[in-house]
Copies of this chain bind each other. A is one copy, B any other.
Amino acid sequence: MYSIHEVCQRTGLSAHTLRYYEKEQLLPGVGRTPGGFRQYSEEDMETLGMICCLKNTGMSLQDISRFMTLAREGDHTLRERCELLIRHKETVLTRMEEMQRHLDKVSWKIDFFTEKLAEYERDQGSSGAGPENPGD
């Protein structure tokens, strides 16, 4: 059993965020001490691991909530969850390929700017104050 503070340290999520996730049905029904403090079980920690996994690959909290609702319904939703994960993986792969293409464009721009910069500094050097280390 872990306090909210321990869970923060293990997951990197803030206490605020953990309470928010509970409210939003991503991880409902977390246990309480007699005093009313949250107590996370080993199973809760595993669920949180899955939540972070999905969140880190860009799934919306709403979709994660739906996935977790299915998980709570039991093994008869295994096929649905499996298919959902496979579709999600494909989405992420597509997104990464797109990102690579966009990044290629940024690389071209860098080449273009580097060339333009070299030209500009050559002009500055010949007509202006001169290079800082002429005899280097």
Contact = CB atoms under 8 A, between A and B. Distances in A.
Q: Report whether over half of chain A's contact residues are helix, strand or loop; otherwise say mixed.
A: helix
Interface in A43-83: 50, 53-54, 56-58, 75, 78-79, 81-82
Nearest to A100: B96
Nearest to A123: B75
Interface residues of A, number: 34
19 contacts: A54-B106, A56-B99, A56-B102, A57-B99, A57-B102, A57-B106, A58-B99, A79-B117, A79-B121, A82-B110, A82-B113, A82-B114, A85-B109, A85-B110, A88-B106, A89-B103, A89-B106, A92-B106, A96-B99
